[in-house]
């Protein structure tokens, strides 16, 4: 698989042996030369055994630099890995929905590649990868789902007097260099190419014209379903939707600019500033000047609100989180596993409460993740919309900000340390369950992220735990 970084255009090929990889790469490079009149500047690959010195020499003779990454580190070639995973997901879906056996996987990959190249994405919108790279506009009349049912015309040279003039086949993919499609005939189990086919499940159905006479004049226009322009339909839908009453609170606030432009600007601004002040109180981050090669994470605001029983607003909530998808395992995050609470453990807790007639209570730790320290050097984009003095700075994290990959593990380690400090013993079977014995008094605590349930033998031990926990956390 070869992927162009700018246009996201991809090329795929079926391989019989690993040793065929260099020949296909050279073929793809020459294909690009035929379209652009020059060879690619750089080719990035992993450093597996199929890439030989002969391939490097041939690429060098073409003026293409070969840049191999560290072997067995797919995270360094993340874009290619994501494209490979996307194609794999598409292929599995195609094979499953078409009920074709897995031996057609190579055709499914070819079909998935064609669909990917003919659909716009976030990087190429409004163009498709095919238009962006090769300046070729896709033909929608050629694109049909993998495994689509078709009636393929039998050429006159192969027709028998009593044989049907068409046979039912299944679509596999588009050919590489000519018109038509590639089909599979389930009866003869042969694969062939043809351009004379009718996709029976995707035909425009004629609407019958009523012949009944009524009081109104009859306007007879022959209409085919599917031939009304999409722009006309969209304009009519927008006109109807504009007449409907839509409360402003139904709009999803995706950015701080949207929130500050809404009718509840004062409320959103107040909770957003309160969030940043909480960061300052917990010493969550420090503004630093970005250095060369420093890669920071993106940051975004998440807004929500809580309603009362009469549907009025009770409380507005805002949270600034990191965009963890750009974190690199082994660079700015290492171990991210954190044990989680299970339903079996809470059932055990409730069963003990009923069996021994114990008391039950709950608590919620506010800004829980911000208490836990982060070990790696992680940098996050500064919220300059509210604090413009941080423009040109990045924020170095001291605490586990919401959204980072290791935030859950940092909080788990911090909460485990607090519970051990208060004299609790963690369950070896249920990691989120903690037990405390003081003579005849017993206290059990179940923690799930920042929410906890307490079961105790008396009200006094409840109060002792609440006071001790309040010294460590804001609950």
Neighbour count for residue 185 (Cβ, 10 Å): 14
Pairing of strands 149-153, 197-198: antiparallel
Cβ-Cβ contacts under 8 Å for 10 (sequence gap 6 or more): 1, 2, 3, 4, 83, 87, 113, 116, 117, 129
> What one-character DSSP code corresponds to residue 297?
B
Look at the block and give the residue holding tokens 């070729």: 136
How many angstroms separate the CA atoms of 374 and 401, rounded?
9
Look at the block and give the residue holding tokens 């607003």: 313
Q: Residue 126: its pLDDT value, please?
A: 86
How many angstroms separate the CA atoms of 367 and 348, rounded?
28
Q: Residue 224: its pLDDT value, please?
A: 47
φ/ψ region of 450 (left if φ > 0, alpha if ψ in -120 to 50, else beta) reads alpha
Q: 249-257: which pairs have CB atoms within 8 A and are 24 or more residues apart?
A: 249/305, 249/313, 253/301, 253/303, 254/300, 255/300, 255/301, 256/301, 256/383, 256/385, 256/386, 257/385
Low-confidence ranges of the chain (pLDDT < 70): 47-52, 71-75, 177-178, 204-252, 309-312
How many angstroms separate the CA atoms of 225 and 227, rounded?
6
How many angstroms separate the CA atoms of 323 and 296, rounded?
10
Pairing of strands 313-323, 298-307: antiparallel
Q: What percent of the chain has pLDDT over 70?
A: 86
Q: Residue 225: its pLDDT value, please?
A: 46
Angle at CA of residue 400, ends 258 and 77, nearest 5°: 80
Cβ-Cβ contacts under 8 Å for 324 (sequence gap 6 or more): 297, 403, 404, 405
């Amino acid at each position: 698989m070869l992927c162009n970084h700018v246009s996201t255009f991809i090329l795929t090929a079926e391989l019989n042996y690993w040793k065929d990889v260099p020949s296909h790469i050279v073929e793809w490079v020459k294909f690009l030369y035929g379209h652009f009149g020059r060879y690619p500047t750089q080719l990035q690959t992993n450093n597996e055994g199929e890439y030989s010195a002969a391939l490097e020499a041939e690429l060098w003779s073409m003026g293409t630099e070969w840049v191999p990454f560290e072997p067995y580190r797919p995270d360094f070639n993340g874009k290619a890995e994501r494209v490979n995973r996307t194609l794999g997901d598409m292929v599995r879906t195609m094979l499953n929905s078409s009920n074709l056996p897995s031996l057609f996987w190579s055709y499914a990959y070819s079909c998935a590649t064609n669909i990917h190249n003919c659909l716009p994405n976030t990087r190429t919108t409004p163009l498709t990868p095919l238009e962006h790279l090769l300046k070729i506009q896709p033909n929608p009349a050629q694109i049909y789902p993998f495994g689509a049912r078709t009636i393929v015309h039998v050429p006159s040279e192969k027709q028998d007097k009593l044989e049907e003039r068409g046979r039912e086949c299944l679509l596999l993919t588009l050919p590489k260099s000519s018109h038509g499609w590639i089909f599979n005939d389930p009866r003869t189990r042969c694969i062939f190419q043809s351009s004379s086919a009718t996709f029976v499940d995707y035909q425009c159905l004629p609407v019958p014209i009523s012949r009944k006479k009524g009081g109104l004049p009859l306007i007879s226009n022959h209409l085919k379903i599917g031939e009304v322009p999409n722009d006309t339909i969209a304009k009519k839908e927008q006109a109807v939707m504009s007449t409907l009453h839509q409360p402003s609170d139904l709009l999803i606030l995706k950015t701080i600019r949207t929130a500050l432009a809404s009718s509840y600007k004062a409320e959103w601004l107040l909770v957003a500033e309160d969030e940043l002040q909480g960061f300052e109180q917990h010493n969550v981050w420090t503004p630093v000047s970005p250095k060369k090669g420093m890669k920071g994470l993106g940051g975004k605001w998440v807004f929500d609100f809580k309603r009362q029983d009469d549907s009025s607003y009770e409380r507005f909530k805002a949270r600034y989180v990191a965009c963890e998808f750009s974190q690199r395992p082994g660079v700015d995050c290492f171990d991210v596993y954190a044990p989680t609470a299970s339903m079996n453990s809470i059932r055990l807790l409730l069963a003990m409460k009923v069996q021994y007639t114990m008391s039950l209570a709950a608590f919620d730790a506010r800004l829980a993740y911000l208490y836990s320290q982060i070990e790696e050097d992680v940098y996050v984009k500064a919220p300059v919309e509210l604090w413009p003095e941080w423009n040109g700075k990045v924020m170095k994290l001291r605490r586990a900000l919401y959204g980072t990959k290791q935030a859950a593990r940092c909080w788990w380690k911090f909460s485990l340390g607090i519970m051990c400090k208060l004299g609790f013993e963690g369950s070896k079977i249920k990691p989120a369950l903690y037990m405390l014995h003081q003579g005849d008094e017993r206290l059990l605590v179940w923690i799930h992220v920042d929410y906890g349930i307490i079961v105790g033998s008396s009200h006094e031990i409840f109060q002792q735990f609440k006071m001790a926990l309040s010294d460590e956390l804001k609950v």
